[in-house]
Amino acid sequence: YAKSAGKNNFQFYTKAMNAKAMERMELENALHRAVRQTQFELHYQPILDSRSGAMVGVEALVRWQHPERGLVLPDAFINIAEESGTIKVLGAWVLRRACQQLVTWERHHQRVGRLAVNISARQFVEGHILQTLRDVVDRTGVDPTHLELELTESALMQDHRYSVEVLEAIKSLGVRVAIDDFGSGYSSLNYLKKFPIDAIKIDQAFVKGLPSQEDKRIIQAIIALAHSLGLKVVAEGVETSLQLECVRALGCEEVQGFLLGKPVPAQQFAAQAVL
């Protein structure tokens, strides 16, 4: 009896696992196809100076225009693209597309400030990021000093020596570097002084918690640390004016969030921005 129950259980699990594995494989294949057919588009969200309210930059955020499912947000596919390696091609496309857009804006005298592009861990570690970057700069004619790469702690932590080397090469092109989602991952504070970075973006979770005392103190500590190392601080995920007041009072230079502007397609972004 026990044996057959166990067997049923086993069958149950394999069935569930198969379904999950199948779903995942389908998603992987669909993603691969999507990259070939360029079913992606970029949305842009403004980054503002916390004091003057002036737009100082825009972050490019990828969306998948799925033929059946409609607009799919990155949380539903970036991890899979990362694990399957598709991120290398997708990431290169994102960088090129975003730079083309910046060049177009600038050509039309629409000043959006710097362009921030997310780079995944795998893209940084094995995606020939330097070669891609140089190639994109050559092909689009984008001014590299108007460009910022957003990297995560986990990308930089994998191989310190490699990270320092690549970051220095990126910096020598004039491209800025920011650490995204700071405080959410496994961080060794020691690397902050070793890595040539320009800014950190405080993880949204801390901003969400405002005005709680705990989150205030954490943000305060992050800002003190950043400033003592000469880094700028961006607060992400600002949704209320109270949160905006808080991060401004704490000394955050820049802010980003739904309160100040949601990610929108380039067309809408240009129309929205007061330039």
Cα distance between residue 124 and residue 91, in whole Å:
10
Strands 232-235 and 254-255: parallel
- Yes or no: say if 177 and 196 are a contact pair by the CB < 8 Å rule: yes
> Using the rule CB under 5 A, is 118 a contact of Mg ion?
yes
170 three-state secondary structure: helix
Cα distance between residue 84 and residue 123, in whole Å:
12
> Using the rule CB under 6 A, is 71 a contact of ligand C2E?
no
Binding mask 100-139 for ligand C2E (x = CB under 6 A): ------------------xxx-------------------
Q: How many CA atoms lie within 13 A of 140 on its CB side?
A: 27
> Using the rule CB under 5 A, is 180 a contact of Mg ion?
yes
In the bound complex, what is the minimum distance in angstroms from residue 265's beta carbon to Mg ion? Answer: 18
Cα distance between residue 33 and residue 88, in whole Å:
14
Among 46, 101, 115, 180, binds ligand C2E (CB under 6 A): 180
11 three-state secondary structure: helix
> Using the rule CB under 6 A, is 263 a contact of ligand C2E?
yes
> Which residue number, 80 or 194, has a Cβ lying nearer to ligand C2E?
80
Cα distance between residue 23 and residue 29, in whole Å:
10
Query: For the chain, what is the radius of gyration of the CA atoms?
Result: 21
> Using the rule CB under 6 A, is 257 a contact of ligand C2E?
yes
Cα distance between residue 148 and residue 20, in whole Å:
37
In the bound complex, what is the minimum distance in angstroms from residue 274's beta carbon to Mg ion? Answer: 24
> Which residue number, 68 or 75, has a Cβ lying nearer to ligand C2E?
75
> Using the rule CB under 6 A, is 91 a contact of ligand C2E?
yes
Residues in CB range of 239: below 8 A, 6 or more apart: 208, 257, 258, 259
Contact partner at residue 244 from Mg ion, ligand C2E, none, CB < 5 to 8 Å by partner kind: none
Site for Mg ion in 120-159 (CB under 5 A): 150
In the bound complex, what is the minimum distance in angstroms from residue 202's beta carbon to ligand C2E? Answer: 10
> Using the rule CB under 6 A, is 258 a contact of ligand C2E?
yes
**Where do contacts with ligand C2E occur on this chain (CB under 6 A)?**
45, 61-62, 73-75, 78, 91, 94, 118-120, 150, 180-181, 236-239, 256-258, 263
**Where do contacts with Mg ion occur on this chain (CB under 5 A)?**
118, 150, 180-181, 236
